[in-house]
Amino acid sequence: MVKSDPIRTYLSLMDAQADSFFSALPSLSHAALWGRPAGGAWSHGENLSHIAVVHRFFRRFNRALWPLASLVARARRPGPSEATIDDVYARPDFPHAVGRFWPPAYSIRRPVPLDRLRGAISAEHRMVRAFYEARDPGLLGRARLYFPAIGWVSYIQSLRIAVFHDAHHFAEIRRVLASTSGSAGPDERGGDRA
């Protein structure tokens, strides 16, 4: 029996859901991309910019902590890797407002074309992939990070949370588009929920 590789699975899911989302995204005018929906929620462009900003922040955060986290993981008694986690964004008590700590780099005051937003997300995904593929999966599953809104998670679980985060914002964009056009497009909630 072949053992599943959660890192490869999550990295593939990260890329596949982004490709699927952008392939199904209708052509958006500047006003549709950057106009804020009723209630002051982020525009589609701001949601996409936020995705790239969050990936950049946590990629750097994870890389900076890796030397210490990997030492602690090596010192821990060997055990199973922690790889699965529920969709933290679906938890009823999850504080979604924490996303405001990572404001979008681009906005109506500083807009960029959709292709640039897609490119920024793709570039961050490539760098996240490079980080995870260059490290020992056993250590990634035992090295731990603490997030106040979530608790202790392994580096692999952190990757899965990043995939859920992307899916959360893709779903929000689809929801707003559906409410204005009547078509939601494909489901992007991040696949398996593991």
Average of per-residue pLDDT across 52-65: 96
Q: What is the pLDDT of residues 22-53, one digit of tens each?
A: 999 989 999 999 999 877 789 999 999 999 99
Entry pTM: 0.88
Q: Is residue 63 part of a domain?
A: yes
Q: Is residue 103 part of a domain?
A: yes
Q: How many domains does the chain have?
A: 1
What local confidence, expressed as pLDDT, does residue 2 receive? 39
Q: What is the pLDDT of residues 115-149, one digit of tens each?
A: 999 999 999 999 999 999 999 999 999 999 999 88
Q: Is residue 190 part of a domain?
A: no
The CATH number for 102's domain is 1.20.120.450
Paired tokens of 26: 């209708």
Q: Is residue 191 part of a domain?
A: no
Percent of the chain with pLDDT over 70: 90
Q: Does residue 187 carry a pLDDT above 60?
A: no
Q: Does residue 68 carry a pLDDT above 80?
A: yes
Q: Is residue 164 part of a domain?
A: yes
Q: Is residue 187 part of a domain?
A: no
Percent of the chain with pLDDT over 90: 74
Q: How confident is the model at residue 192 (pLDDT cuts 50, 70, 90)?
A: very low
What local confidence, expressed as pLDDT, does residue 92 receive? 92
Q: Is residue 72 part of a domain?
A: yes
Average of per-residue pLDDT across 80-105: 88
What local confidence, expressed as pLDDT, does residue 3 receive? 53
Q: Which residues constitute the domain of residue 151? A: 6-181
Mean pLDDT score of the chain: 89
Smallest CA-to-CA distance from 21 within 125, 101, 99 is with 125
Q: Is residue 27 part of a domain?
A: yes
Better-predicted residue by pLDDT, 182 or 192: 182
